[in-house]
A and B are shown apart, each in its own frame.
Chain A
Amino acid sequence: MNALIWRLHRNQAYTAGAALAALTCLLLLTGITMAHDYHAFLASCGTTRSCGDATQLLFRGDGAITTLVDATMAVPLLLGVFWGAPMLARELETGTHNLAWTQGVTRRGWLSRNVLWALAAAAAFGTATAVLVSWWRGPQNAVGVPVRLATFTFDIQGIMPAAYTVFAVALGIAAGTIFKRVLPAMAVTFTAFAGLRFLIAEYARPHYLTAITKSLPPFSGNQAAPAGSWVLSNATLGPNGRNYTTGISYQDTPAACRSLGQQAARQNSCLSSHGFHTLITYQPASRFWALQGIEAGIFIALAAALIILAYRVVLTRDA
Chain B
Amino acid sequence: MSAQDVPAIRTAGLGKRYGSLWALRDCSVSVPRGRVTALVGPNGAGKTTLLKILVGLSAPSAGEASVLGRPPGQTTEFLASIGYLAQDLPLYSRLSVADHLEIGANLNRAWDAAGARARLAGLGIPEDRRVSALSGGQRAQVGLSMALAKRPRVLVLDEPVAALDPLARREFLASLTEAVADGDLSVIMSSHLLHDLQRVCDHIILLAASRTQLTGDIDHVLRTHRWLLGPRRKATDIEPGIEVIKATQTANQTRLLARLSGPVLDPRWEITEVGLEDIVLAYMGQDDARTAGPLTTARPVR
A residues whose Cβ falls under 8 Å from a Cβ of B: 1-4, 7-8, 94-108, 315, 318-319
One of B91-99, B172-180, B199-207, B277-285 at the interface: B91-99
Q: Provide the residues of chain A in CB contact with B52, threshold 8 Å.
A: 318-319
Q: Mark B69-105, 1 if CB is under 8 A from A, else 0.
A: 0000011100110111011101111010001001111
Known: A1-B107, A2-B106, A7-B95. A102 touches B74 (CB 8 A): no
Contact, CB under 8 Å: B108 / A3? no
Q: 26 A-B Cβ contacts within 8 A?
A: A1-B106, A3-B106, A4-B106, A4-B107, A7-B99, A8-B92, A94-B90, A96-B90, A98-B84, A98-B86, A99-B84, A99-B146, A102-B56, A102-B79, A102-B86, A103-B103, A103-B107, A103-B108, A103-B150, A104-B80, A106-B74, A106-B76, A315-B74, A318-B57, A318-B59, A319-B57
Contact, CB under 8 Å: B150 / A99? no
Question: Which of B82, B87, B95 is in CB contact (< 8 Å) with A102?
Answer: B82
B residues whose Cβ falls under 8 Å from a Cβ of A: 52, 55-59, 74-76, 79-80, 82-84, 86-88, 90-93, 95, 99, 102-110, 146, 150
* Interchain CA distance A305-B87 in the complex, whole Å: 34
Contact, CB under 8 Å: B76 / A104? yes
Contact, CB under 8 Å: A103 / B57? no
Minimum Cβ distance to chain B for residue A317 (Å): 9
Contact, CB under 8 Å: B76 / A105? yes
Contact, CB under 8 Å: B88 / A7? no
* Interchain CA distance A2-B102 in the complex, whole Å: 11
Contact, CB under 8 Å: A99 / B90? yes
Minimum Cβ distance to chain A for residue B113 (Å): 13
Which secondary structure dominates chain A's binding surface? helix
* Interchain CA distance A267-B107 in the complex, whole Å: 80
Contact, CB under 8 Å: A7 / B57? no
Contact, CB under 8 Å: B150 / A104? yes
Minimum Cβ distance to chain A for residue B116 (Å): 13
Instruction: List the A residue with the shortest CB-CB distance to B78.
Output: A106
Contact, CB under 8 Å: A104 / B84? no
Q: Provide the residues of chain A in CB contact with B108, threshold 8 Å.
A: 103-104
Minimum Cβ distance to chain A for residue B104 (Å): 7
Q: Provide the residues of chain A in CB contact with B93, threshold 8 Å.
A: 94
Q: Provide the residues of chain A in CB contact with B106, threshold 8 Å.
A: 1-4
* Interchain CA distance A2-B106 in the complex, whole Å: 8
Q: Provide the residues of chain B in CB contact with A108, threshold 8 Å.
A: 74
Contact, CB under 8 Å: A98 / B103? no
* Interchain CA distance A3-B59 in the complex, whole Å: 29
**A94-B93, A102-B57 are known contacts; what are 18 more A-B pairs with Cβ within 8 Å?**
A1-B106, A3-B106, A4-B103, A8-B95, A95-B86, A98-B84, A99-B91, A101-B57, A102-B83, A103-B103, A103-B107, A104-B107, A104-B150, A106-B74, A107-B74, A318-B52, A318-B58, A318-B59
Known: A3-B103, A7-B103, A107-B74. A102 touches B91 (CB 8 A): no
Q: Provide the residues of chain B in CB contact with A107, threshold 8 Å.
A: 74
Known: A104-B107, A318-B52. A96 touches B82 (CB 8 A): no
Instruction: List the B residue with the shortest CB-CB distance to A97.
Output: B90
Q: Provide the residues of chain A in CB contact with B88, threshold 8 Å.
A: 95
* Interchain CA distance A1-B99 in the complex, whole Å: 12
* Interchain CA distance A101-B80 in the complex, whole Å: 11
* Interchain CA distance A195-B192 in the complex, whole Å: 50
Instruction: List the A residue with the shortest CB-CB distance to B86.
Output: A98
